[in-house]
Structure 1
Amino acid sequence: MSSKFSLTGISDIALGKDLRSENEVVGKKAGMTVLNSVSFFLAGVSILFLIAFQINESVSLTWFFLSEAIAFLLIPLLARQGFVKAAKILLIAYADVGIIILSSVFGGDAMIQAFFIPAMGLSILLFDNTQVHLRNMGILLSILSYFILDYIIFERISISESSFSLVRWSVLTGSFVTTWLIFNTFSQFKEDAEHQTLELLQKEQELNQELSLKQEKLETYIEQLEVATEQLAKSTKAKSEFLATMSHEIRTPMNAILGMTHLLKQDSPREDQIEPINILDFSGKTLLSLIDDVLDFSKIEAGKIEFENIEFELNKLVNVIVESFKITAKNKGIELNTEIGEGIPNILVGDPARLTQILNNLVSNALKFTEEGEVRLSVNALQVGDDDSVRLQFTISDTGIGIEEDRVNTIFESFTQASQNTKRLFGGTGLGLTISKQLTELQGGTISVESDEGEGSTFFVELTFEKGSSTDEAKAITKSEDNAESLRGLRVLLAEDNLVNQKVMLRFLERWNVDMTVVDNGKEAVEAIKEHNYDVVLMDLQMPTMDGYEASEHIRKLDDPYKRNTPIIALTAAALKEVREKVYASGMNDFVTKPFNPADLEQKLFQFIEK
């Protein structure tokens, strides 16, 4: 905004600039540009005549040209205040009056009256086609002035000195009146502008205050958000720690329950004991499955789920799944069948634990909702070529209750089951299918379902695996299964603080003819290693006095190379990736998750004997 509303702004007007904005060009119309240019040109001419007549005192016209110069300077200001049409008419009028006066002084022989022609052209330049009547008025004014000059002043009227003085004072009065009007209008505009400026400043202050308040509120919100974020991080950490603790605390007694149940099955129970033992085994495994579902769902939500990429044997994986549900199917009188298509590589590379989890959830559901008929697990190759990968489709079909048509698309949602009374009749968290879907999709696979209510359901899981090249693990497993007596005489040190788990482990290892020594904490394990030689150490992680991690680090620092390199297998109830990484970082060779699978433990022991 221009800081000056005074005559110092005349130069800006001459250049076509707005007094209220230094960068904004006014005079978009040609008429305004002509008005400014002609006004200042004629003002300059009037000043020249003023100087000339001031020097030549024979004719006293200084007063007239002074008034003319002032008028020409003020006409653009009048136009800037909004009186554009009046300013244009005054410009023409003052130009005509100037021609008349000069013609009167120099006489008709000077032909100064010829300047009425450009005066008429000035009217055409000042007014556009939308102002024809004003244009005609300006032209008529010039013609009338010429008529007065040529036919009245020169021919008929002889102006006396007193008359001339009257004319002079009339023109001077007109100049003063014009000046008063212009400055009065300009003063009013200036006051309005100042008032508007004050209003704008006041609004600006109010907006600044409001902005300051909002900024303070925003800073408060940011601080609250930071506090909430910190609390959320603490809450997430506490949740993870709680889940890890609960996992450990629940899995530890579950290890004893499932371990003893497994031993009872192998002890040739009486006929009346078989059913209770099977119920105990089924309930324990169901509880363990629920715990795993909750933990996995939490890890998936937190984005912390990760996948392994190791070799595994497809046939063995399928057989283990079938064996784990064989008793359940037998008790319900349901056939549990498997079928693996031809041409499928047996050694694959992927995450066997997650694949087992997906298939376990689907087979478990199929058995749960089937009262008669069959549950079938089929594996077929969708794409097998010469490349290093294979696309497999796992199909789990049943002849159970099926799924209502309007709920087929919702069964993969969290805590959702096929019907309202399903939970009441069959139980469950409603997380199994959700976790299976997310685990499948996170590995780049797909899962879908086809179902008819009352006729059964079929689930399809598609996953891509790399083809394995090593068969050493499969050979080791086969050799382990065929040579159960090969563990005889194996010297094992068990570090476990839980008395029940000590007894469970002792019962298993005795059946395998293993020579076992038991200690209650890590410190005792280190002392035992120093005094005796062992083939394998089974190390619990959470123990008093010294935990399994610290004990393993002490063992790896022993001077005796044989003792220092003794294989250590971790016994952990926390099936978390962080725990596994810490296990390997502390120097342990492998781990077994509680509740442990006896076959898995036997296999790992046998592998370390071979090494």
Structure 2
Amino acid sequence: MSIYIRDAFDLMENNKYGEAIVMSNSVLEFAIENNEEGLIAKTYNVLGNAYFYAKNDSLSYHYLYKSLDLYTKLKDTSGVILVYNNLGVNYRDSEQIEKSNENFERALKLARKLDNNSALIYPLYNVGYNLVDKQKKYKEALPYIMEALDVYNSTKELKGDVILAHIYETLSYIYFKLEDEKKSTMYYNRSIAYCEKHNFQVAIAELYRGSANLNAEKGDFEKAYELQSKFIIANDSIVSIKEFGKVKEIEAAYKIKENEEKLNFVKKEQAIQKEIIKKSKIYNILLVLFSLVLLFSGYWIYKKNKQLKLAKDKAENLSKVKSDFYSEISHELRTPLYAVIELSGLLLKENVSVKHKEYIESLRFSGNHLMSLINNVLELNKVESGKMKIQQIDFELKNLVSNIIESLEYALRDSNNTISFKYDENIPQSLTGDSLKVSQILINLISNAIKFTNNGHIEIEIDRLKDVEEDEVRLAFKIVDNGSGISEEMQSQVFEDFYQEHSKNGRSYKGTGLGLSIVKRLLVVMGSDISVTSKKNEGSTFFFELNFRVTEIDSLPIIIYKSQLEYIKNKSFLIVDDNKINQLVTRKVLDHLDIKSKAVDSGAKAIALVKEEEFDCILMDIHMPELDGYETTELIREFNKDVAIVALTAATKNEVEVKASMHGMDDYILKPFITKDFVETITKAMHRRQ
């Protein structure tokens, strides 16, 4: 039966705690029936560890101490060392560091006397790890970890053990703290390679998380985010809710047996108590009272800890549900909007009547307006989750604002408003900054001005202030309207989430109440803020300042874009999308770019067609039934590594950015898109596969 207890230990190390407990209890019944005390001690140790990982501390300590008592009775020094080591890990996990150190030191002392490398390596490592993780004594920890490495290298029985991955990881962390980046990187790479070779998924996940924290500590937040994403993916593949559910079922199944054992123990204890009561009743009453106090105190602490854990789990679950909701709602809304915006844009290029043109402009404005609302909601989620990044893009501010005004022309006509744009000609033509966030800020502010102004005038003014540095300018932005205005007592509330202004005559200005809140949040992220001055029925002025770097005017991007258009002309594309309308829209876009295309509505059909025909690029949807875009890409890559594959999706950037490259895609495009960005992305993807 010893082989089965080893199998149970392997199951436990692979997070299959339920199966480990089932197998261990079967072995335990056999061992007790046959009075095999050595096997009983081993089984108690495995059960103690399994319940530790299943987060049941009381049962974990119960079985570990039973194992320790039996190993001590049997004078099995190796077993005693093993249990001391496991107890040290338990106490470390519950932040009882002094007890943890005591148990590791006992294990190390016995192991040195025993002169057994297999028994020595874990106490050595754990003493060193406590010095690193709990006491921050990196130089003192180094000799213990290095000795553990030497022990591993000189012991054949340890080959392939996961302990080597932990040793490498800890050495990487120590040298990072000792500012020896070369050695830190070397040991990190060794640990990753070793884990991948032996498929130690839990250790790989911990490596990603630890490295993410180190990179965040260094200030390399982009690398930290990349590694954190890898940790989440790796961890998701390991943690199984079913396993924890199974543990609970197993605990219930074996509860009866445990209660019977406890009952027998109580009966024996009662017999002894009767003899003691005869000698000293008062002593026993005090002892019982004291025990009850301890019992109730322990129960109260247990209940509090359980409530805190439930609250933590609930908060984490709510955060995940919220993130999943934003991802799903983004996809579901952007998909039809892609068709509305792109088709209306294509129709405006056709020779349509004046009347029909007005209808199409109205349709395109409504689509863009809805897209703006969606972006507001998504930006709010990004700020709250701390995932918002500042991008540095070369752009022409004057053209940006002019395009925004043009896109809002229909709304201006509908509200019978006029608009003027005052632009300081001393502002450099080409600037570098986050043009997407500037665009969103201005769209929200100008749209807000139009909404609260009728038969009036809106003025946009941008002035150059004193230069910050030689290659950096500071600009002042003003958006002025003569609309309904904001009362003085309400001005402090307009930047709050979901706040909506209502007029005294009962008119309600419909909206999400997020526009101004998003503006303020975006500006804060960009190192600025926004102010407002207003009087009721006289209008409002919103103003803010931003810094931009000055860039040299370069005609090269225009030349490159023309070259890209020429390169993709007459190329052959495959569109994979289960939405027929999206297929039509994408084909129309490709037609205007002189690109030949075919379309299929499933991953299976795409795979079959790629085997028969040659394509220069595949535009792959992500969310499809049966085979999704990631799975389809992986299957295509098994037989075709030359075709460029680009995700064309309505999913969020955070969802697709990491996964796309992991599954063999060359890049991604978010719908709806700007044609210039679309052309640049597909051109780069095809060049990579040449």
Letter matched to residue 447 of structure 1 = I
Structure 2 equivalent of residue 294 of structure 1: 377
Letter matched to residue 489 of structure 1 = N
Distance 2:500 2:506 in 1: 7
Which of 395, 402, 409 pairs up with 1:319? 402
Structure 1 equivalent of residue 543 of structure 2: 460
Q: Secondary structure at the match of 2:334?
A: helix
Conserved 8 A contact 1:243-1:295: yes
1:264 is the counterpart of 2:347? yes
Structure 2 equivalent of residue 232 of structure 1: 315
Q: Secondary structure at the match of 1:457?
A: strand
Conserved 8 A contact 2:431-2:551: yes
Which of 571, 577, 594 pairs up with 1:513? 594
Conserved 8 A contact 1:321-1:356: yes
Letter matched to residue 340 of structure 1 = Y
Letter matched to residue 573 of structure 1 = A
Structure 1 equivalent of residue 501 of structure 2: 418
CA deviation after TM superposition for structure 1 residue 436, in Å: 1.1
Distance 1:403 1:461 in 2: 18
Conserved 8 A contact 2:452-2:483: yes
CA deviation after TM superposition for structure 1 residue 473, in Å: 6.8
Q: Deviation digits for residues 152-189 of structure 1, max 9, x if unmatched?
A: xxxxxxxxxxxxxxxxxxxxxxxxxxxxxxxxxxxxxx
Structure 2 equivalent of residue 576 of structure 1: 653
Structure 2 equivalent of residue 493 of structure 1: 574
Correspondences of 1:235-246 after superposition (within 5 Å): 235-246=318-329
Q: Secondary structure at the match of 2:408?
A: helix
Conserved 8 A contact 1:487-1:514: yes
Q: Deviation digits for residues 56-85 of structure 1, max 9, x if unmatched?
A: xxxxxxxxxxxxxxxxxxxxxxxxxxxxxx
Letter matched to residue 475 of structure 2 = L
Structure 1 equivalent of residue 583 of structure 2: 502
Conserved 8 A contact 1:326-1:336: no
Conserved 8 A contact 2:667-2:685: no
Distance 2:433 2:485 in 1: 31
Structure 2 equivalent of residue 369 of structure 1: 452
CA deviation after TM superposition for structure 1 residue 457, in Å: 1.7
Conserved 8 A contact 1:400-1:455: yes
Conserved 8 A contact 2:656-2:668: no
Give the number of the structure with larger relative contact order, counting CA–CA contacts within 8 Å between residues 6 or more apart: 1
Distance 1:302 1:245 in 2: 17
Structure 2 equivalent of residue 64 of structure 1: none
Distance 1:339 1:535, change over 3 A: farther
CA deviation after TM superposition for structure 1 residue 502, in Å: 0.6
Letter matched to residue 514 of structure 1 = I
Q: Deviation digits for residues 121-155 of structure 1, max 9, x if unmatched?
A: xxxxxxxxxxxxxxxxxxxxxxxxxxxxxxxxxxx
Distance 1:416 1:351, change over 3 A: same
Letter matched to residue 596 of structure 2 = D
Correspondences of 1:112-123 after superposition (within 5 Å): none
Correspondences of 1:339-378 after superposition (within 5 Å): 339-378=422-461
Letter matched to residue 362 of structure 2 = I
Bigger mean CA offset, 532-541 vs 208-217:
208-217
Structure 2 equivalent of residue 158 of structure 1: none
Letter matched to residue 673 of structure 2 = F
Distance 1:477 1:454, change over 3 A: farther
1:592 is the counterpart of 2:675? no
Correspondences of 1:109-508 after superposition (within 5 Å): 213-419=296-502, 425-468=508-551, 471=554, 474-476=557-559, 479=562, 488-508=569-589
Distance 1:452 1:585, change over 3 A: farther
CA deviation after TM superposition for structure 1 residue 422, in Å: 9.8
Distance 1:594 1:259 in 2: 9
Conserved 8 A contact 1:492-1:514: yes
CA deviation after TM superposition for structure 1 residue 432, in Å: 0.9
Distance 1:580 1:300, change over 3 A: same
Letter matched to residue 403 of structure 1 = I
Bigger mean CA offset, 599-608 vs 311-320:
599-608
CA deviation after TM superposition for structure 1 residue 407, in Å: 0.9
CA deviation after TM superposition for structure 1 residue 477, in Å: 7.6
Conserved 8 A contact 1:404-1:419: no
Distance 2:432 2:286 in 1: 71
TM-score w.r.t. the length of structure 2 is 0.52
Q: Secondary structure at the match of 2:599?
A: strand
Structure 2 equivalent of residue 76 of structure 1: none
CA deviation after TM superposition for structure 1 residue 440, in Å: 1.0
Q: Secondary structure at the match of 1:297?
A: helix
Conserved 8 A contact 1:317-1:356: yes
Distance 1:407 1:432, change over 3 A: same
Distance 1:236 1:609, change over 3 A: closer
Conserved 8 A contact 1:248-1:574: yes
Matched residue count:
406
Pick the structure with greater CA Rg: 1
CA deviation after TM superposition for structure 1 residue 490, in Å: 3.4
Distance 1:281 1:583 in 2: 30
Q: Secondary structure at the match of 1:384?
A: coil
Conserved 8 A contact 2:485-2:534: yes
Structure 2, unaligned runs of 5 or more: 1-284
Q: Secondary structure at the match of 1:414?
A: coil
Which of 620, 642, 649 pairs up with 1:539? 620
Distance 1:338 1:386, change over 3 A: same
Structure 2 equivalent of residue 71 of structure 1: none
Q: Deviation digits for residues 195-236 of structure 1, max 9, x if unmatched?
A: xxxxxxx99998996676455323312211111211221122
Q: Secondary structure at the match of 1:541?
A: coil
Q: Deviation digits for residues 312-361 of structure 1, max 9, x if unmatched?
A: 44344333322321332244443333343234344444332222221211
Conserved 8 A contact 1:372-1:399: no
Distance 1:487 1:421 in 2: 58
**Percent of residue pairs identical:** 36
Distance 2:327 2:505 in 1: 30
Letter matched to residue 540 of structure 1 = D
Distance 1:355 1:429 in 2: 20
Conserved 8 A contact 1:417-1:423: no
What RMSD, in angstroms, separates the aligned Cα atoms of the two structures? Answer: 3.6
Letter matched to residue 596 of structure 1 = F
Distance 1:488 1:555 in 2: 24
